Structure 1
Amino acid sequence: MQSPNVLKPENSSQPEWAHLPVPVLCLIMDNLSEPIYHAWFAGVCKQWHLVAKDYNKKKKALPMLLLSLNNDHKTRRVLYGITEGKIFKNINLEVFYARRCCGFSHGWLATVDENMAITLLNPFKKSATKITLPSLKHRKRIKIPQFNVLKVILSHNPTSSQDNYAVVVIYAPSDLLAFINPTQQYAWTYLDENLMGFTDITFYGGLVYAVGRRGMVVSFDVNSKKYSSHLQLKPNIIVPSCYHRTFRYAERVYIVESMKGDLLVVRRFMERKEGLLEEIEEGEEERKSVTESFKVHKLLLNDQTKGSLEEHVEVKSLGDEALFVGDNQSMSILASNFPGCQPNSIYFTDDSIDVFAIKNTYCPKGPFDMGIYCLENGTFQKHYTPEYKHRYLAPPLWVVPPLQ
């Protein structure tokens, strides 16, 4: 009798290795340290793809860095793996190398143009059609178009949920909130413009949660029928600004669901530093701030409504978890699943909107403020160090190569 763990069907004409026992294939995947290897593994044949898909459902994939390199391919980017410390230059993704991406969610990148129109693209699937969304409100904006939208996230993958996905954004100049259901709406729904200063958003328990620099946390439902694109939506305020008087202002605040299902608020504090850049060209202004520390709090919400706060608790340890924050949708993983990944740590990229003027143009001032922060002892390590000549290029962000 054939073992249930063997995938080989009767009268198969495929090679024997295509039907190796599932435990053997899982053992192979255990030794594939970078997520791009899993994507390649899944591309071998249908049977291996099924195993890889099931394997990665059980183990959340490790993010990789999407990098811009200063080369002749102005519409190409590459991937960097943090476990091997390796740049995969043989992977050329069709993403304009000098334009900042304002989000990565469910396999899709987001960019914004000078008309405040957001484009969604899937660089890992060439057959995926780009999605252009309606322009956001034309307000007084930042001079650099690529920084007019701070963050974009999706509720679902547009490829697999073509008729049922929502897009939520934080947009300039006051870091306000808006959302759209592209298959159901022709215009954006805007949230109360008296509530501003948001820096991150996430979907949790069927609702959207947004967090701001001064500690404010709000929630709203993008699927509610009572909302109208003609009226400003008033979200539910879960935590008001300056909820704790002892709270320091944080330049960046992130919100992420932990592997245990908790809702975490991650606050990133900056400090001023002189001489950060190694050399300053004429017409440049030196950057003054880098990350000083992080603090993490857990929001304990009412189980019935998810709309009221019961407790706001500081988290001293993340245990085996590692968080990945930046321009991407914030993510958490179990570090023990990936050799070389640091537990109880926060992996961060340079998502600052600091810019400098040079030769009458505006360029990103980085990306140099990146690293790994250990929550236990407050120390920093490096995960990737860009070359100084890449300071004019778009900053890296965390992505997860999907299984095709």
Structure 2
Amino acid sequence: MTPILILGIPLDFILFAATLVGVAIFHRHTLLIALAGLVTVVGYKLAFAGFKTGVGLSGLALHMQHEWVTLANLFLLLMGFALLSAHFEKSGIPDEMPALLPDDWKGPVVLLGLVFVLSSFLDNIAAALIGGMVARHVFRGRVHIGYLAAIVAASNAGGSGSVVGDTTTTMMWIAGVSPLSVLEAYVAAVIALALFAVPASIQQQKFSPIVKNAPKGLQIEWVRVGIVAAILIAALAANVTANMKFPALLDHAPVLGLTVWAVILITAPLRRPDWELMPATFKGTIFLLALVTAASLMPVEELPAASWQTALGLGFVSAGFDNIPLTALALKQGGYDWGFLAYAVGFGGSMMWFGSSAGVAITNMFPEGKSVVMWLRHGWHVGVAYFIAFFAMLLLVGWHPDLPR
């Protein structure tokens, strides 16, 4: 089969780019556009270009056999963590947060710091949703889009230096990269947090100030707190155990997602999950899976030569292109400083609302965030922080690449 080129560019990329442009412009119809884009790309691959794994339906089947674990994990985590966030909201803890946070713009800064820390040992989706739920309560339900972008950025930055904090860093760990090599990503991540947290918090404080005092007579529902803790602890334990003891299992089963749902179902008799959230969450989840699947079909066989310039560029690319295949290609190629790559592909997706699973999760909770124009306009500080922090890390740490593979 012969791929079609237009001005030297494979038609696959043009179709995928058109899908992203459609999502950016028609943000009220993102699911329909993403599904239409995926169907178009698959149809073109079937008729003309073929797949990396072969041609026709057999090639498609083999490709999906390779991708299904990643897609299943994303589906289970996004759906499951939406229920977790509802348990967390009903526990009463978000209503108590005004008593713990400063009363002025420093309160939103502290909340972003908490999201950052949570994401270092939890999945960044869970950290972002917990941060969004607290924000909904302490800002009277009115959260600025610039602050939504900052919550996503804090969750992605917090996971970038931890091998259990993000899918991409976990992939590096499985591939044999030392956790200490990934850890240096926190040099840039902490600088980035300091850069975007203040302007985002000032935006939020002007838009809807933080509640100064917690409502009186609140009671924490400790059963729901226990359910939230059980889900998060089980997810963390499953992630660490599978990576250390049974790494091959991660290629054959969505271990993390299944663990989260096992705890949700086991604890359901204690407190009923908020099943009513599932239809809206399902739509947002299918949107992300459509984009991730389309990205995995792109004919990216290799990346440019490994360098800090390439790593910097991959951060911008990951804002619109799934960072999982980018990371897989980088691991295959070698020659990167893994701390820089972890920061770039982990944090870079924060620059667009659909550039990371945490961004999609947050916009499921706050649909007004599903506008690329508004996200870029009000979340400008995220892109600026990414760029400045990358060069600060280059100056402070230096580029120390691994050997090519």
Q: TM-score, normalised by structure 2?
A: 0.25
Q: Which has the higher contact order (CA 8 A, sep 6+)?
A: 2
More helix by share: 2
TM-score with structure 1 setting the length: 0.25
Q: Which has the larger radius of gyration?
A: 1
- Greater share of strand residues, 1 or 2? 1
